[in-house]
Structures are given as structure tokens and as C-alpha cells.
Chains A and B, each alone.
Chain A
Amino acid sequence: MLKRTLHISSSPHITKGISTDDIMRNVVWALLPVSAFAVYAFGLSALLVLFTSVASCVITEHLLCRLAGKESTISDWSAVISGLLLGLTLPPGFPLWMTFCGGVIAIALGKFMFGGLGYNVFNPALVGRAVLQAAFPVAITTWQPAFASNRFDSTFSATFTFPFAEPAADGITAATPLAAFKFEGITTDAQELALGLVTGSTGETCAALIILGGIYLVMRNMMNWRIPVAVLGTVYILSGLFYLIDNESYPSPVFMLFSGGLMLGAIFMATDMVASPITSAGVVLYGAIIGLLVVVIRLWGGLPEGVMYAILIANAISPHIDNMIRLRVYGTAKRAMER
């Protein structure tokens, strides 16, 4: 018999065969229709914003790994997700240099500082966006109209703002449905919201495609469906209650669900596995907290939109939820858990 080299390893010797980079890649696939619609609705500028944010995230991750003397981790595709999500939450005409800064911050501050994939306390994309919101409050609330006629052959004027210069105001701005409601009391038709015929951040407008991406991931068992269901359910019930009490000053629950970044946030950002609790009961509580915060910020806060802060706050609570809610181990008495 020939001499062979036998591989020694611990059991089990077979695996289910789904790896972390498979999961990450599938999240990217699920985000592609949303991204494609964003480019369709907002044109060249949206494409550039998405491309810039993905590139800056991937480059930052690669360089930081090299700097730390580790092997580059860009092949796990998680930086691509962060980049895509960051791009999708920015206005389509957001200056590219600011977008690039956002990507660097998302990865450096939101992910790498905590130790990289698996250790981030917050969703990196949202950390990037939160810093951008604080640093560039005007640019990040300057919304460009969807379906401009020349969107495929020219960019919005702010797109190519020179770094550190003030973005040019070109007058063709539009109000998002949430801002229109908050500051002017105008509600938008739910059907328009669901199909993405309105303005808003690059990728948050078409709820239908976002839901489709979510269903794809849930069917592949790559997303915890309890999180979006808990978030959206809480928002629907709470805002429904207020709507029943006073339908003059409070928006309808359907409007709440389909406007702003709620769909994108609930389906693609709150579900960041690393920054959410690990038990089924834990994620339901986590989702409910996000839903509650979204309603509170939107109805009574100074900002028209609160999804980002709601998720970031819930991310911070998440480890505590995991410490609080533990599964009852087989063969242990129920009371033994309460300690």
C-alpha cells in the first residue's frame, strides 16, 4: 500500500457546508436589487456614492489589516456589506469625498477598533453614518429628487464637491416624505412609498425590493426573521395606537412602516448578527426596543428620522440582553436560571 498523509482533526468530520463568507456574500446578493433600483431612481450620482462607499470600506479594511500585521480579511465580504449599507443610507447626491470619509470611519471606528468582524458592538455602517450626520448635518439632509430626467448623463452638482469645500447648493432639492410630514404635515401615499417613487436616501426608497431581499435571506436561513418582524410589528402597533387616538396629528401606521429608512434598517441593519442578541427571546426584545425608539424619535424627537439612532442604542443594549435572557439548559430546574 502507498504511503499516505492522513489528516488528523477533532470531530465532527463533516459540516453543514455553509461558511461565514457564504452568508456575507448572500447578504450582498440580497442588497443588489435595492442598489440597482437606487441607481435606476437617482442615476449616476447614486452609482458613484455606492461605489465610493464600498471602495473606501474595502480599502480601509485591507490597509488596517496590513497595518496590524494581520492577513487581510476583505475576502470575508463583510466590508462590502458595510460599504453597501453605508452608501444606501446616504443621500444620492452626497459629496463623494464625504462618502469616502464615512467608509473609513465605519470600518476604522465602527469595526476595526473593536477587533474586526465578530467583535463590533455597533453596526459599522451606522457608526459611519452617525459620524457623517454629526460632521455634515446640511449635506446629509440635502435630498435630491428621484427620477430626474438627466440622471444618467450628469451627476448632482454636489457629488464632485472638492474635499473640505462647501457643497454647492443647486436648488433642485426635494423633501423626504418624513420631513414633509414632520415639518409640513403632508403625508405621502403608501403605494408610492412601497414602490420607491419618492425621494430619500439612496437605497431606502423602494420598500418592496428591500422586503424581497429580506425574504431571500430568511429563506436561506441567513437572517433572523424575528428581528424585522419585532421591529416592524412594534412600530405598527405603537403608531397605530396613536393614530387611533388622534389621526390628525399622528401619521398612519402604514406611512410609518414604509417611509424613511425603517425597512432598510429593520431588515438589513438591525439584523447584523454581531451586534444583535443571540437568543430568540433576546432578539424579540431587541427588535421591540428598536421599534419603540423609532416611534418615539419620529413622533416627538427633533429629527424627522430615528432609525439609525434607534438601532445604535439597541446595539449597545444587546450584550446586556444576552446576559439577562438565557436559555433553560436541559435537565436544569426553571428556578435555577434566575440568579
Chain B
Amino acid sequence: MIVYVLRRLFLLVPVLVGVSLVSFALLQLVPGDPALILAGEEATEEVLARIRQEYGLNRPLPVQFAAYLRHAVEGDLGISIQSRQPVATLLAQRFPFTLKLAFLAIVVSATLGVIAGIVAATNRNSSLDIAALLGSLVGISLPIFWLGLLAILVFSVKLHWLPSGGTGTLAHLLLPALVLGAASSAVIARTTRASMLEVLRQDYVRTARAKGVSDRLVVYRHALGNAMIPILTVFGLEFGYNLGGAVLTETVFSLPGVGRLIVEGIFARDYPVVQGALLVVATTFVLVNLCTDIAYAFFDPRIRYD
């Protein structure tokens, strides 16, 4: 098992190099000049030249990329063109926040989704089932942006229960986590339902019922464990997505997260920031996938990593 984990971690290196290369190439292909954007409309030649010199934007591309990799290996992810802060510092400030938000969102969505999925699966074709299916369809289809603004309107402006944005307390994270969790919970609910239905059809479930095992034990002890594999996969994917892609929620609720950092960095052509942030997101995704894979082994003893 340990060897397996180490091997997977080792594979992280080529993944990161690949991500760096692709993000670097894409950023260079996009038209737009970070010096111009930083300096604004009133830029003079000297200011533009100074910015370009400071960030080495005039060097040939392979030289820039090689220098970037060299520094990245030492932990120096460069300096943000927009804010002139070290990228590593920026990420260190924003990433824990995004982590908290994504974690809270996945807790919300996992709870809601799994329960809804189980209810739907155990009451198949009943009105509960249809309600759950409809609910999840709505949850996946609703634009997060709109849902977020609506949530602020209802819970903040009208009811004054929760703050409308910004950070500070757990209360500030609640609405964004709910909104972010809404779409995820829909996916999780559907996956849970489908997986549970598949498992509940199995012979061993019928045997358990015939033995006289209570319905609740059948579902939670015998069925759910076996249904978890696809559900875990979705957990991992949704958590990973929330870590890097929650930019809409972050924008609506004015949260200083990594998603906004990446998008705003792209608009400003802030190469170091975007590349650095993508590296972090890629790493997290790989680690989350690794954890998911290891979790499979817990739920299915037949899976062994040697």
C-alpha cells in the first residue's frame, strides 16, 4: 500500500510539468499584454519597458519557461504582475480559504445528496422519488450565479439572517457553501440513487431481507457500503471542482478564493499567478483522486493495492 501511494505521488511530477507547459503555452497564445493592462490607458513607454524588464517578458519563450520551472522547483513561483506580491504568498493566503469553503460545500452536498439518493432509491417510483429526481434536475440546471444572488436577496436583504458577502466568521461561509453545494448535491443524489438501485437488486440483499434483517440495516449496513464506490468518485470530482472552479460563487459573495484569483489573473494576463494557481489546483486534484482511490479499498476489501 505504501509503495502504491509513493508511486502515485511520484507520478505527480510529470503531471505538474505537463500542466505548467500547457498553461504557459495557452497564456502566451492569448492576445493581450500584461504590461499594458497593468499600466492602464495612460501608460508611457518607460513604464511599459520597466514592467516588461522587471518580469522578464522580453526574453524568448523557452527561456522564460525554463526559468519558471527552475524557480518553481525551489518553491519560488514568481511575482504577480498585478499586485507585485510573491505568488506563493498569494496562494498561501487564498488556498486555505478555498479549502474551507469547498470542504463545507462537500459536507453539505454529501449529506443532502446521499440522503436524497437513498430516499429516492428505497421509495422507487413513489412521489418521493419523483420529487428527488425533479429536485436534482433543478439543482443541476439552476445557474449558480442566479442562485447566489437570490440567496443573498432572501437571506441577507430580506431576512437579515446571514451576511451578504465577504469573510470573517463561519456565518460568512454558510450561504456560499449552500449555493456551491446545491449543484453538487444534485449530482451526488442522482449517483447515489442509481448506485443504490443497482445494489438493492442484488441477491445478497434479497437474502438479507429473507433472513429478517430490518429495512434500515439492509440499506445502511449491507447496501450502502457496496454502493459507495461510484458515489466516492463523484465526491472526489466535485470536491476537486469546487477547489478550483468556484469562481462564480466567489464573485457573487466577494470571497478571496483561488477561483477568482485564476480568472482575474487571466483577464490581467498575470502569467505567474495563473500558472502558479493551476499548479496548486492540479496538485490538489491529483491528491484528491489518490485519496478517493485509497478510500475504495476501505469500502471494498476486494480492492488491494500492492
Q: Are chains A and B native binding partners rather than an unrelated pairing?
A: no
